[in-house]
């Protein structure tokens, strides 16, 4: 796992309908240390997905630089794993094969990659589902597979774009608790995008509040871990931090 450095990042799109340029990201700088969990939060259209897609190397940036472990990002690569809102699993592969896919692409031999996949599936309490196909799983389970599939590839940075947005509220809370537990165990470097303030504060070590493509403020989240909704729901510090972030986002 390596650190991520973003310096003066910007992105301008050409809007063919208006015939003008739209600056979606302005001069964003960010340092994410190895093993940190950073959430980027902000209202719809503030540039969250654009930032994530540039870090992933899916779209080029128009200004500034992105470095992973000191190396500039020039396109997608296995050093960055991505988890999307839509689960994007391979429907024709079993859960085990989905999770073993990354190691397979890295040339890891079958017995070894299946061992890795079983370890990650156990971490996400998915051992029983190893032989099933994605269509045979609930949405929450599919998203759990998506998360461990990305982790099994052991990326330097794990990029998550509203991964829990399409599951019901109860499942979402369970997934959030599980993600914090898995993160504590494996300590990947995570950039997690969301517009849900409580989710951001619950998960992160640091929350970046974004508005109109600019960083408004960075808020350190000093809540103890492990985190659970039962203990944080009525926690004064959780409420205080969420209130602060909510205020920033609303003023955005
Ligand atoms: N391919 C594109 N072409 C032109 N403009 C775009 C393109 N993609 C995004 N934009 C514009 O860039 C801005 C930021 O969009 P982006 O999707 O990054 O925001 P977001 O914060 O992720 O929003 P949401 O939470 O709704 O997904 C918006 O004004 C959007 O309309």
Cα(26) to centroid(ligand 1), Å: 13
Cα(44) to centroid(ligand 1), Å: 8
pLDDT tens-digit profile of 24-34? 999 999 999 99
14 CA: nearest ligand 1 atom: 4
What's the ipTM?
A: 0.96
pTM, to two decimals: 0.91
* Helices marked H in the chain: 48-56, 95-105, 110-123, 139-152, 169-186, 197-203, 229-232, 236-251
pLDDT for 1 beyond 70: no
Angle at alpha carbon of residue 213, lines to 215 and 64, rounded to 5°? 85
Query: 84: Cβ below 6 Å to ligand 1?
Result: no
For residue 3, what pLDDT is reported?
87
Query: 45: Cβ below 6 Å to ligand 1?
Result: yes
For residue 88, what pLDDT is reported?
82
1-79+189-252 topology per CATH? Rossmann fold (3.40.50)
pLDDT for 252 beyond 80: no
Query: 195: Cβ below 6 Å to ligand 1?
Result: yes
Pairing between β-strand 206-211 and β-strand 214-220 as defined by DSSP bridges: antiparallel
pLDDT for 87 beyond 80: no
Percent of the chain with pLDDT over 70: 99
pLDDT tens-digit profile of 38-55? 999 999 999 999 999 999
| 22 φ/ψ angles, rounded to the nearest 5 degrees | -120, 125
Query: 226: Cβ below 6 Å to ligand 1?
Result: no
Residue by residue, what is the 3-state secondary structure of 87-112?
CCCCCCCCHHHHHHHHHHHCCCCHHH
Query: 58: Cβ below 6 Å to ligand 1?
Result: no
51 CA: nearest ligand 1 atom: 18
11 CA: nearest ligand 1 atom: 12
pLDDT tens-digit profile of 194-224? 999 999 999 999 999 999 999 999 999 999 9
pLDDT for 115 beyond 70: yes
Task: Answer whether 116's CB lies under 8 Å from 96's CB.
Answer: no
For residue 227, what pLDDT is reported?
95
For residue 39, what pLDDT is reported?
98
Mean pLDDT (the chain, rounded): 92
Residues 91 and 213: their CA atoms lie apart, in Å, by 35
For residue 140, what pLDDT is reported?
85
- Looking at per-residue pLDDT, the higher value among 146 and 1 belongs to 146
For residue 8, what pLDDT is reported?
97
Query: 50: Cβ below 6 Å to ligand 1?
Result: yes
193 CA: nearest ligand 1 atom: 22
């Amino acid at each position: 796992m390596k650190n991520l450095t973003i310096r003066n990042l910007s992105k301008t799109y050409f809007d063919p309908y208006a015939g003008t340029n739209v600056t979606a990201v302005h001069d964003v700088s960010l340092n994410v240390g190895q093993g940190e969990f950073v959430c980027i939060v902000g209202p719809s259209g503030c540039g969250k997905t654009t930032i994530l897609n540039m870090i992933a190397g899916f779209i080029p940036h128009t200004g500034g630089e992105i470095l992973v472990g000191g190396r500039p990002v020039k396109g997608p690569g296995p050093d960055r794993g991505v988890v999307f809102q839509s689960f994007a699993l391979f429907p024709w592969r079993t859960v085990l094969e989905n999770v073993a896919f990354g190691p397979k692409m890295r040339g890891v031999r079958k017995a070894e990659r299946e061992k890795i996949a079983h370890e990650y599936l156990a971490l996400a309490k998915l051992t029983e589902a190893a032989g099933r196909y994605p269509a045979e799983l609930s949405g929450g389970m599919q998203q759990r597979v998506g998360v461990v599939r990305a982790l099994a590839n052991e990326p330097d940075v794990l990029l998550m774009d509203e991964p829990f947005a399409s599951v019901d509220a109860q499942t979402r809370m369970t997934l959030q608790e599980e993600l914090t537990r898995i993160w504590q165990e494996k300590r990947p470097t995570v950039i997690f995008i969301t517009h849900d303030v409580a989710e951001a504060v619950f998960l992160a070590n640091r929350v970046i509040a974004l508005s109109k493509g600019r960083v408004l403020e960075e808020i350190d989240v000093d809540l103890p871990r492990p985190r659970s909704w039962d203990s944080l729901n009525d926690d004064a510090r959780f409420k205080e931090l969420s209130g602060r972030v909510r205020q920033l986002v609303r003023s955005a």
